[in-house]
Structure 1
Amino acid sequence: MLKFIDLFAGIGGFRIAFENLGCKCVFSSEWNKFSQQTYEANFNHRPFGDITLIPTSEIPDHDILTAGFPCQPFSIAGVTKHNALGIRHGFEHPTQGTLFFEIVKIIREKRPKAFILENVKNLQSHDKGKTFEVIKNVLYSDLNYHIHYQVIDARSLVPQNRKRIFIVGFDQSIQFSFPQLPDVKLRIKDILESEVDSKYTLSDHLWNYLQKYAIKHKEKGNGFGYGLVDLDGIARTLSARYYKDGAEILIPQVGKNPRRLTPSECARLMGFPETFIIPVSDNQAYRQFGNAVVPPVVEAIGKEMLKSLAHPVPERDILAESSLKTLVINQLELAFVF
């Protein structure tokens, strides 16, 4: 049985996915006390708090590292390209002082067989691409992991547009491909509860405000405004700010103002199981699901990772093949000349 650790664990989306694949969680870390509460209610285990406070040596050995790490600006001012490739450490390390650096420290010391990291799709363009370039260089050139990355939209497995970047790494050069996700054709109406408390219906004051706000921004030529969903379609991305007014995903109601999703509906929208326990307030639940990963997407990627680990066929060395092809062409040209 492969062992994994769950860093920046949130409410356990990665854990659900990898336990469904038969793996065993041997360590988890999450600093938010409300997320810890939800995690403990579902897994009978309270995650360790601030990951920066635990010595790496005390983290159990593991085969796979999982993390939905926060995106922080990496200070690379004054760091040469040579340094950014990960040769320098300590205070000169390009990721020093960021939470990503905590992942780097653990990978460097524990050398798991593989890792999977998740972040917002804009990670690639953050700071004009510099942030992602540092991440790739550190993982590949410094830590010597073979990395694969792809932006994946969860819309084929859950009824919302949700694009996230996933970075998968292996400690050896083996074949790996991100999965082609099947379209299960879920629609918003498929995840709605039949009876919903009236407290989720927007007040006249809030509904009028959102409509005026949308008109004002439409006149300015931008798209800011509420999202009244088509029940036969899919929703916008559920965000951590949903607790404020629910504006991005509003459910139409006949003869009433639209309503927010309930926390249970948010769980379904994110692909969490029906048995998932929500022990916190609505506002905290909205934050937690808005920040979560989609377990079915992670499970699909994890399944491909496990296949690669079980049958480690060496990855084709495209660079070497290209160099050999160039050499052959040059030799043929020389032969033709003479």
Structure 2
Amino acid sequence: MRQVHIRVDDELYNELNSYSEKNELSMQDCVREAVAYYMSDVKKKKNTGKEKKFTFIDLFAGIGGMRIAFDRAGGQCVYSSEWNKYSQQTYFANFGEQPEGDITKVNAEDIPDHDILVAGFPCQPFSIAGVSKKNSMGRATGFEDKTQGTLFFDVCRILKEKRPKAFMLENVKNLCSHDKGRTFQVIRESLDELGYEIFYKVLDGQNYVPQHRERILIVGFDRERYGDKIDFEFNLTPRVPKPVMRDILDEEVADKYTLSDKLWTYLQNYAAKHRAAGNGFGYGIAPLDGVSRTLSARYYKDGSEVLIAQEGKNPRRLTPRECARLQGFPDTFKIPVSDTQAYKQFGNSVVVPLMGEVAKLIVDEIDRLDKEGAEWKQVI
């Protein structure tokens, strides 16, 4: 990070000070955010008019894994939202655009029109009590009743207001069983009520990166626009040859990534304790010619789920760059934050090439549906 000293007049200073207090930001973060938004606007104006196959928005954007996937499929991102300030820094460093902050405070009508909505929304429990009461009284409940107070509600209200041609939502595999299946039931009912035909499947990233990482993808197409002609399948083409761990490792790694004697002893004792109790918990040494366990946001704590064996030394954790590769990010992707923040960010991100394959399938289906619709109008 570099420092820039600026002078502002009293009126502008008061405006900045008021904004920083209202949003609980330091003056430094407030000014940085203002400059980032300004530069984002400059870039967007430069990109205006450039030919793209489709437009999309990037909600709960994280560090932009989904954006890379849909960019590669020929899209133009017209809006992004991410509340975490460190993720915003990484996003800006790589895309030159500052994501808008808290999506719950954004009016849906202010979001630009778009063809595809993309969101990796957090999984939250829904309140079933109020819905059950209304059902017992014979009163219908809509998505606003069922999803209010969750971040999924914000996805729904944007879908309702902007009616994109399609959407893709990403979440953890356990979404299907979360809260005894009620969460996923509410999600399906809400999307159906909004007039979208949905398709979903749990997909594993290990066909594209050397990591066992299962995530559920929910894809939807607008029934009001396309009627009953929608026919979507997750027909993916795995990479050949299948990637393995040694493909993503650096030849030379700093000593700071090697586990200390104290931490390595702790992890071994912890694993032995759980083995004795009949549990499978413990550290994981990644096979060089195989795939690793799932990288998580807690990786910064001890790196235990994905360790690399070293001859004559304690195992080591992955470097942030290796974590980026494990998720399929290109080596040109900039990492402007600390190791701790980088581990959190990549652990929370997506397998980029897997998302890219699904993005292409969505775009192909939209193209097919739009073409059939145009041909049908010509017949009429």
SS in 1 for 2:121: coil
Q: CA deviation at 1:88?
A: 3.4
Structure 1 distance, partners of 2:128, 2:90, is 37
Q: CA deviation at 1:81?
A: 9.5
SS in 2 for 1:146: strand
Give the partner amino acid of 2:186: V
Over the residues paired in the alignment, what is the CA RMSD in angstroms? 1.9
Q: Which moved more, 1:72-81 or 1:198-207?
A: 72-81
Q: CA deviation at 1:186?
A: 0.8
Structure 1 distance, partners of 2:275, 2:321, is 32
- Name the structure 1 match of 2:272: 215
- Is residue 34 of structure 1 aligned with residue 76 of structure 2? no
Contact in 2 for aligned 1:3/1:64 (Cα 8 Å): yes
Give the partner amino acid of 1:112: P
- Is residue 88 of structure 1 aligned with residue 145 of structure 2? no
- Is residue 309 of structure 1 aligned with residue 359 of structure 2? no
- Name the structure 2 match of 1:329: none
- Name the structure 2 match of 1:56: 108
Structure 2 distance, partners of 1:70, 1:78, is 22
Contact in 1 for aligned 2:126/2:146 (Cα 8 Å): yes
- Name the structure 2 match of 1:4: 56
Q: What pairs up with 1:67-216 in 2 under 5 angstroms?
A: 67-80=119-132, 88-89=141-142, 93-140=145-192, 142-172=193-223, 173=228, 174-184=230-240, 185-216=242-273
Q: CA deviation at 1:229?
A: 1.4
Between the aligned residues of both structures, percent identity stands at 62
Structure number with greater CO (CA < 8 Å, separation at least 6) is 1
Q: CA deviation at 1:181?
A: 3.2
Task: From the superposition, tell whether residues 224 and 275 of structure 1 become closer, same or farther in structure 2 (CA, over 3 Å).
Answer: same
Contact in 1 for aligned 2:142/2:190 (Cα 8 Å): no
Q: CA offsets per residue over residues 207-240 of structure 1, 9 Å max, x none?
A: 0000000000100100110001111111000000
Structure 1: state its 5+ residue gaps.
316-338
Structure 2 distance, partners of 1:139, 1:83, is 19
Structure 2: state its 5+ residue gaps.
1-52, 373-380
Q: CA offsets per residue over residues 130-175 of structure 1, 9 Å max, x none?
A: 00000000001x2010000000000010001000000000003411
Task: From the superposition, tell whether residues 264 and 89 of structure 1 become closer, same or farther in structure 2 (CA, over 3 Å).
Answer: same
- Name the structure 1 match of 2:294: 237
Structure 2 distance, partners of 1:154, 1:201, is 27
Q: CA deviation at 1:13?
A: 0.7
**Please, what TM-score do these two structures have when normalized by structure 1?**
0.89
Q: CA offsets per residue over residues 55-113 of structure 1, 9 Å max, x none?
A: 111100000000000000001113149869x95358x6110000000000000000000
Contact in 2 for aligned 1:83/1:94 (Cα 8 Å): no
Q: CA offsets per residue over residues 4-33 of structure 1, 9 Å max, x none?
A: 000000000110011111100000000000
Give the partner amino acid of 1:177: E
Q: CA deviation at 1:313?
A: 8.5
Contact in 2 for aligned 1:252/1:258 (Cα 8 Å): yes
Task: From the superposition, tell whether residues 148 and 83 of structure 1 become closer, same or farther in structure 2 (CA, over 3 Å).
Answer: farther
Structure 1 distance, partners of 2:288, 2:134, is 53
- Name the structure 2 match of 1:287: 344
Q: CA deviation at 1:274?
A: 1.3
SS in 1 for 2:202: strand
**Please, what TM-score do these two structures have when normalized by structure 2?**
0.79
Structure 1 distance, partners of 2:320, 2:150, is 32
Q: CA deviation at 1:312?
A: 1.3
SS in 2 for 1:93: helix
Structure 1 distance, partners of 2:324, 2:80, is 21
SS in 1 for 2:369: coil
Q: When the two structures are aligned, how many residues end up with a matched partner?
A: 312
